[in-house]
Amino acid sequence: MAYRVYAMDFSFYNSMGIYSFETRCEMLKEIGYDAMHLSIWHGERWRDAAKLGSVKGKYGLDVAGVYVVLDLSLGESHPRNEGILKMLETLEGCSTVELAIQSAGSHLRPSDPAGDDAVVKWLEKALEICERRNIDILLYTHLSFWVERHEDAVRLCKRLSHPRLGIVFCGYHWYAVDGSNLAGILDEVAPYLKQVNLSGSRRNPHGFGNVATIEPLDEGELDNFALLGQLKRIGYDGMIGFQGWSEGGDAYLKLSRSLQAFRDMERRLEAHPHWAELKLLP
């Protein structure tokens, strides 16, 4: 089975600017992607969200999701956080919202369960809207954010037990946080896993967060072939995206390379599934 693929729009940022919404869609269609993606952040790009309803008809692409950031240290009623709820009420052309939770409150460190009650309260309000509008919220793990580990996302999903709440497995952020126990983490995440994104990466103090780089899939030391084998093992069959944050440069070229590398991984895994069965070093 060939996975359906998308590119997060981070791939289209570089030090000179950001490619337009229309150009991003045109490039992705020409390269051979199945879906596009939109980062709304704290609400800076609501205007582009209004264009999502026309993407399928105009470009022949699906919309994999929109990415937003919740920061409860600003207060639950802060315009940025209220804006996410307003977006859920009006979003068209997309049924997936990727939610990165930057903070659950002031002075809380990443993964601190003391923030659970505040986040659950906010999510309950958001999920009421999602029920009415058939939208999924997928928790997006992020280095140095409050939901930093996939275990944090699993904890929230178990507590809320809501069919509209799921998880994005973020290959880079798993690797950057500690990069260990992949099989065990994927087994925990599997019941809630609705989306995946991958990156090439290598440990480097000049990388993102002074921890590791984010690169096309044909670069780095992170073994995405073995990671893909683990996704196959747990039966994941949803879309897979390529992250692209901080890659910069010629977006078309790098996205072409990542897609070509990914399709080659799929080919090898289909022909030789046992190749992905890595053993721990002694």
Residue 282 has pLDDT above 70, yes or no: no
In eight-state DSSP terms, residue 53 is G
Domains of the chain as residue ranges with CATH: 5-274 (3.20.20.150)
State residue 46's pLDDT score.
79
State pLDDT tens for residues 62-111: 999 999 999 999 999 999 999 999 999 999 999 999 999 999 999 999 99
Cβ proximity of 175 and 142 under 8 Å: no
**Tokens in use for 227?**
């990671």
State residue 278's pLDDT score.
86
All residues at 6 or more sequence positions from 71 whose CB lies less than 8 Å from its CB, including other chains: 42, 78, 80, 81, 101, 102, 103
* Alpha-carbon span 266 to 272, nearest angstrom: 10
Question: Is 42 or 146 the better-scoring residue by pLDDT?
Answer: 146
Q: Residue 89, SS3?
A: helix
In eight-state DSSP terms, residue 106 is T
Q: Which of 163-167, 172-176, 277-281 has the lowest mean pLDDT?
A: 277-281
Biggest alpha carbon distance in the chain? 54
Quote the mean pLDDT of the chain. 95
In this prediction, residue 281 has a pLDDT band, given cuts at 50, 70 and 90, of low
Cβ proximity of 236 and 189 under 8 Å: no
Q: Residue 64, SS3?
A: strand
SS3 content of the chain, % helix, strand, coil (to 5): 45, 20, 35
The reported pTM is: 0.96
